[in-house]
C-alpha cells in the first residue's frame, strides 16, 4: 500500500485493518516521526519523496531514485495488487505495477471534494478500481466507484 503520512495514511490504514489476516500487507511510505508507531504491526518499506523535501531541479534526479526504489520493491514483494490513497510517492508504483500486470486500486483523498488531485488524475489512467469519497468527483472520474467517506 504505497502512501504518504498523514490523512492519506489514515485512509489506507482503515482499509488495511479490514484486510488484515486475509492478505500479506506491505506499506510503502517515506519516513516521518510517527511512522514507526502507526505502522508497528505491518511490514514497512521506506522510500524517498522527492516532491516534499526538495525544491527546484534537485527533485528530478531524486524522482529517478524513487522509480528505482519502486522497481526493487515491486520485484521483491511481487504484490497481487497495489492499493493507495497517497500523493506523489504511489504514482511510480501504480505505473510500474500496471506494467507488471498488477491490479491497481486507488482511493481519491477525502479532502478532494470539488477538484481532483494530480495524483488522482494520474492514478485514474491506470487504475483497475478507482474510488471517490464525494459524489461531486464522479464528473471528473466517470468510471469511479462512489464509496462515501472513510473518515
Residue 120 near residue 141 (C-beta atoms within 8 A): yes
Provide the grid cell at 85. Answer: 490513497
Q: Which domains does the chain have, with CATH numbers?
A: 7-146 (3.40.50.2000)
pLDDT tens digits for range 6-41: 666 777 787 777 777 778 888 888 877 777 778 888
pLDDT tens digits for range 107-125: 987 666 678 888 899 999 9
Q: pTM to 2 decimals?
A: 0.84
Residue among 23, 66, 70 nearest 42 (CA): 23
Provide the grid cell at 61. Answer: 534526479
Residue 33 near residue 41 (C-beta atoms within 8 A): no
Amino acid at each position: 500500500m504505497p502512501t504518504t503520512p498523514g490523512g492519506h495514511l489514515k485512509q489506507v490504514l482503515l482499509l488495511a485493518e479490514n484486510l488484515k489476516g486475509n492478505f500479506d500487507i506491505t506499506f510503502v511510505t517515506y519516513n516521518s516521526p510517527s511512522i514507526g508507531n502507526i505502522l508497528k504491526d505491518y511490514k514497512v518499506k521506506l522510500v524517498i519523496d522527492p516532491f516534499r523535501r526538495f525544491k527546484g531541479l534537485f527533485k528530478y534526479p531524486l524522482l529517478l531514485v524513487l522509480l528505482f526504489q519502486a522497481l526493487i520493491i515491486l520485484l521483491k514483494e511481487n504484490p497481487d495488487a497495489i492499493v493507495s490513497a497517497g500523493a506523489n510517492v504511489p504514482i511510480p508504483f501504480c505505473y510500474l505495477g500496471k506494467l507488471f500486470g498488477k491490479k491497481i486500486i486507488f482511493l481519491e483523498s477525502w479532502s478532494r471534494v470539488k477538484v481532483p488531485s494530480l495524483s488522482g488524475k494520474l492514478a485514474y489512467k491506470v487504475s483497475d478500481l478507482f474510488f471517490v469519497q464525494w459524489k461531486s468527483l464522479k464528473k471528473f472520474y466517470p468510471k469511479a466507484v462512489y464509496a462515501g467517506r472513510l473518515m
